[in-house]
A = this chain, B = another copy of it.
Amino acid sequence: MTTIRALGVDIGGTNTVLGLIDGTGTLLRQESFPTNPADGAHRFVARLADTMHHLLRQETPPSTVDAIGIACPAVNTKEGIVDNPANLGWGRVDLAGLLRQHFAVPIALLNDGDAAALGELHFGVAKGLSNMVMITLGTGMGGGIVVDGDLVRGTNGTGGEIGHVIIGAAGGRRCACGRLGCAETYVSATGICRTAAELLGQEIMPSPLRDVAFSSLTAARIASFARDGDRLAQRVFDVTGNHLGRLLANLAAVFDPQAIVLYGGLVHAGELLLAPTLKAFNESVLERYAESVKILVSTLNDGRAPILGAGSIALRQVSV
């Protein structure tokens, strides 16, 4: 007996993760490879297709695929293209069109934040909710917003760009999008390294961070120093959580959601990030939302949320 199967793909600034899922939303097999955005979109798609074929061949017997769902930053769903993703530098690319040269199945393209939100809504911690905001904290920051059960896609299908909300005073950090002060320049895996660098300049306290070159900094490394008791590294998370908590309070005022779900690599820092985030959220949120809006951590925080979201959207296209 054959069942319907889809590949869900999540293209991140650092790694691309893909998974084979069946009609029940079960993830059968997962694989990942470095995105290497500097190679360009054409070579990326060739590597993606190779990895897909490889993954399908691992199944016994080798699996077929009925549909593909791709989650990517900066997707314009109206035109069906990827439109100047800040962290990939690909310009405008017809990603689905390029992949169609390798796979003759329906291909759905959606924003990575939207895909993660759908995954969480159907299979994760937001199951059963109708109003939620998803924040993805990876190399960059993305978002997916669900109002009355539906995604807020906007006029061009590019809504929910929470990472490009400008925060703080005028003249903030330079963003890859060309502007100053975008939230993702502060609250993301790259943002937290930038905060570390700034604090190294600002403070005089000793820290093992002083022996690490900027290009060797990672969020995981800063978290490790913080857990070992380094005050400067702890301070980096306090500053980051403060920015994030304020942003979440503003999203609560605009959307009055049941929950805000945090997802992505940065969330693995756990209480280091969550404690200052909740502190700032509680200090900044309008009183009436303090109890009604829950801040939740994704339960699909191993790369599954956007894969399941993208895969399930793709399956829906072939099931109808």
Contact = CB atoms under 8 A, between A and B. Distances in A.
Given A147-B147, A147-B152, A179 B284 contact: yes
A254 B160 contact: yes
Given A150-B148, A287-B177, A164 B292 contact: no
A255 interface: yes
Interface in A1-15: none
Contact of A164 (B162, B168, B170, B253): B253
A304 interface: no
Contacts of A236: none
Interface string A245-259: 010011001111110
Contacts of A257: 154-155
Contacts of A170: 242, 246
Contact of A292 (B155, B160, B177, B254): B155
Contact of A131 (B145, B155, B160, B255): B155
Nearest to A131: B155
A21 to B, nearest CB: 28
Contacts of A148: 150
Nearest to A143: B254
A38 interface: no
A253 B181 CA distance: 13
A1 to B, nearest CB: 39
B161 A286 contact: yes
B131 A161 contact: no
A83 interface: yes
B155 A256 contact: yes
A169 interface: yes
B155 A286 contact: no
Contacts of A150: 147-148
A158 interface: yes
Nearest to A86: B286
Contacts of A25: none
B152 A255 contact: yes
Contact of A254 (B156, B168, B254, B256): B254
A288 to B, nearest CB: 6
Given A160-B254, A161-B253, A161-B254, 13 more contacts: A147-B147, A147-B152, A152-B152, A152-B254, A155-B257, A157-B256, A159-B256, A164-B253, A165-B254, A166-B249, A166-B250, A169-B169, A170-B246
9 contacts: A143-B254, A147-B147, A147-B150, A148-B150, A154-B257, A158-B288, A165-B250, A166-B250, A254-B254
